[in-house]
Amino acid sequence: MSGRNGFERGMWTHSMPDDLQTGYDPTLGNKFIFVTGGVMSGLGKGITAASIGRLLINAGFDVTAVKVDPYLNVDAGTMNPYQHGEVYVLKDGAEVDLDLGNYERFLDIDMTSDHNVTTGKTYQHVIERERSGDYLGRTVQIIPHITDDIKRRIREAAAGTDVCIVEVGGTVGDIEGMPYLEALRQFAHEEDESDVLFAHVTLVPYSKNGEQKTKPTQHSVKELRSIGLQPDVLVGRSEHRLTTSTRKKIALFCDVPTRAVFSNPDVDDIYKVPLVVEDEGLDEYVLEHLGLADRALTSDARDTAWRETVLQDADETIDIALVGKYALEDAYMSIYEALKHAGFELGVDVNVKWVASDEMTDTHHDRLNSATGIVVPGGFGSRGTEGKIAAIGHARTEGIPFLGLCLGFQMAVVEYARNVLGLDGAHSTEVDADTPHPVIDLLPEQHELDELGGTMRLGAHETQIESGTIAHEIYGDTSCTERHRHRYEVNPNYIEALTDAGLQFSGWCGPRMEILEIEEHPFFIGTQFHPEFRSRPGRASPPFIHFLEAAIAERHQTREVEA
Ligand code: GLN
């Protein structure tokens, strides 16, 4: 099969031994959309890319995505939420950039570690191969060894799907991104022209007198072209839609047809981006360019569930307090999204109010009182834990619906031990190594492992659910599979005392307690796992739906009392 310019596939690697050739099977027939960004980061390139994917799924195609993160970290596991937002966890336990969460939510797919290509992973793999002699004494170089590895990863992730969207993090011109752009250039060269589409997302700012400025776009396309990439499609992120004259100007100077220049204006909700992009006709253009138009469902037959979910009217707005330590929405992104999905399900808007856990003491309850539900999210380290415990105590004693996630679950156990069992100073050994009552601790076998490092429990694990409990009602089943990211557990020595005092553990996995509940409460649920990672628009997470339902009921009751 010949690629662009009639060049034979694999010719450029003619001097390489067979085992170093990429493992591409040409019969698979995948299509690829490569998405790059220009001008500045944080433009919502990932949301644009995911939106295209959603529309292709609605049109009947199997779509997957690969996020390329050009940083040297192997994964996002150790990254600071202040810099990168939350660490998102995949079912296989991979700790990845939160952008993968957007792909999972928009495409409604489960991704794996293979869908997140980082420079750290690529270099680590190539260097390991070099150490074990795989390169037979050759000089190991960025081109071809790193670029080959990048191409291999993309092809493997695409296997078995119709379309694979590859988003390159950062902006064109970043030194870190260069090997990826070179790999994509080669990739396109090896494929048929109609199998690859390059989309470039840039910023179109306004001048003081309200004119849309195309220069930044022109410069970033020039930068792309200087490394041998010609975009097929340009998407201009701007406050409003691009005017016809802006589109024409971009088309002329960036050498694309005017109908290949699309707008992506600001919207009030990211889930509306697929609808905006659809109105622009971007999906049709992509289908046509990739030769998929004939195989696509007709517009009448396309899946409209997304549109219906996103555009429904909300009856009311429910205030939920999120008691966490980071003053940054991105640090809790999946929780915000899961609450939004539950809102879609129940026909309400959710207004999440962040309450700083390190400023929360038991004299600050007024901050929580205006909310009809309290969420205490996951976290690591000691900062803000006393505030979380105070908020949980308030929710418990005042009958405010409560959802505790991971650290929030653990702190609910601590609160109960201190204030109901009277175990003064009870704590998690993560926070207080010398606590007289280590109600949250490492399991004995983890203590041994801890000396070797790497004890984090990650990814999807099955939880057994006790029949007849609230957890059973929530999940409608006697088991659930949710994602985890934690090290500490409920200490088995305290389970009996806690249970006798009214804190029920209704879900477990072997010796590990996974779900807690208090029957005599409007809604008091904690989970050691993170249900937020499996929540999707149109398929909200059960604990979030039930929590919000309880908050709505609480709100109506308060209104009745006031009236
Ligand atoms: N820090 C706690 C642990 O390691 C909770 C982790 C979390 O909330 N993700 O167990």
User: Residue 13: is its pLDDT beyond 90?
Assistant: no
Q: How does residue 329 score in pLDDT terms, banded at 50, 70 and 90?
A: confident
Q: Which residue lies with its CA nearest to atom 8 of ligand 1?
A: 378
Tell me, using a 6 A CB cutoff, whether residue 195 lines ligand 1. no
Please, which pLDDT band fits residue 3 given cuts at 50, 70 and 90?
A: very low
Omega of the bond leading into 144 within 30 degrees of 0 (cis) = yes
Average pLDDT over residues 43-50: 92
Atom of ligand 1 nearest to the CA of 380: 1
CA 387 to centroid of ligand 1, rounded, Å: 16
Q: How far apart are CA 357 and CA 16, in angstroms?
A: 57
pTM here? 0.91
Q: Is the CB of 524 under 6 A from ligand 1?
A: no
Q: Are 343 and 552 in contact (CB under 8 A)?
A: no
What's the mean per-residue pLDDT of the chain? 89
Q: What is residue 82's predicted lDDT score, i.e. its pLDDT?
A: 75
pLDDT at residue 481 greater than cutoff 70: yes
Third-level CATH fold of 33-202+276-294: Rossmann fold (3.40.50)
Specify whether the CB–CB gap between 339 and 548 falls below 8 A: yes
Look at residues 389, 391, 303, 331 and name the one whose alpha carbon lies nearest to residue 108. 303
pLDDT band at 364 (very low <50, low <70, confident <90, very high): low
CB 223 within 8 A of CB 216: no
Q: For 170-178, what is the mean pLDDT?
A: 91
Q: Is 376 in the pocket of ligand 1 (CB under 6 A)?
A: no
pLDDT for 451: 53
Task: Name the residue of 323, 382, 410 whose CB sits within 8 Å of the most ligand 1 atoms, as the mutation to test its pocket.
Answer: 410
Quote the pLDDT of residue 409.
98
Averaged pLDDT for residues 481-485: 96
Short-list 214, 212, 277, 202, CA closest to 42: 202
Cβ(484) – ligand 1 distance below 6 Å? no
Average pLDDT over residues 112-119: 95
Q: Are strands 489-490 and 479-486 parallel, antiparallel or unpaired?
A: unpaired
Band (356; pLDDT cuts 50, 70, 90) = confident
The tokens describing 76, both together, are 């996002």
Give yes or no for residue 486 having a pLDDT over 60: yes
Q: Where are the domains of the chain?
A: 33-202+276-294, 314-562
Query: Are 367 and 395 within 8 A, CB to CB?
Result: no
**What is the CATH T-level fold of the domain 314-562, as seen in this structure?**
Rossmann fold (3.40.50)
Supply the DSSP string of 260-272, one letter for each residue: GEEEEE--SSGGG
Per-residue pLDDT of 273-324, as tens digits, reads 999 999 999 999 999 999 999 999 988 888 888 999 999 888 899 999 999 8
The phi and psi torsions of 168 (rounded to 5 degrees) equal -95, 120
Judged by average pLDDT, the poorest of 191-195, 229-233, 324-328, 503-507 is 324-328
Residue 160 has pLDDT above 80, yes or no: yes
The Cα 273–Cα 32 span in angstroms is 21
Residues 428 and 442: their CA atoms lie apart, in Å, by: 9
3-state class of 457 per DSSP?
A: strand
- Residues contacting 525, CB < 8 A, separation 6+: 402, 403, 404, 470, 471, 474, 515, 516, 517, 543, 546, 547
Ligand 1 centre from 487 Cα, in Å? 6
Q: Is the pLDDT of residue 5 over 50?
A: no
Cα 267 to Cα 106: distance, rounded to the nearest angstrom: 16
Q: Which atom of ligand 1 lies at the shortest distance from residue 378's CA?
A: 8
Fold: same for 33-202+276-294 and 314-562 = yes
Average pLDDT rounded to a whole number, residues 24-53: 83
Predicted confidence at residue 560, as pLDDT, reads: 81
What pLDDT shows up at residue 455? 79
pLDDT value, residue 173: 87
pLDDT at 447 over 80: no
Distance of CA 260 to the CA centre of its chain: 29
CB 493 within 8 A of CB 480: no
Q: Assess whether the C-beta atom of 380 lies below 6 angstroms from ligand 1.
A: yes
What atom of ligand 1 comes closest to residue 377's alpha carbon?
A: 8
* 83-114 pLDDT tens trace: 778 999 999 999 999 999 999 999 999 999 99
User: What was the pLDDT predicted at 469?
Assistant: 97
Of 197 and 19, more confident: 197
Give the pLDDT of residue 100: 95
State the maximum Cα–Cα separation within the chain, in Å, rounded to a whole number.
83
Alpha-helical runs (H) found in 191-238: 215-226
CA angle (199, 202, 206) in 5-degree steps: 145
pLDDT at 1: 32
The answer to whether residue 437 scores a pLDDT higher than 90 is yes
Q: Output the CA 64–ligand 1 centroid distance in Å.
A: 30
* Ligand 1 pocket check for 446: Cβ under 6 Å: no
Ligand 1 centre to CA of 529 (Å) is: 9
Say yes or no: CB of residue 537 within 6 Å of ligand 1. no
For residue 543, give every residue at least 6 positions away whose Cβ sits within 8 Å of its Cβ, in sequence order, or none: 403, 474, 525, 527, 531
Specify the residue with its C-alpha closest to ligand 1, atom 5.
407
Confidence of residue 17 (pLDDT cuts 50, 70, 90): very low
Confidence of residue 550 (pLDDT cuts 50, 70, 90): very high
Distance between CA atoms of 167 and 157, rounded to whole angstroms?
Answer: 13
Higher pLDDT, 455 or 9: 455
**Catalytic (active-site) positions:** 406, 530, 532
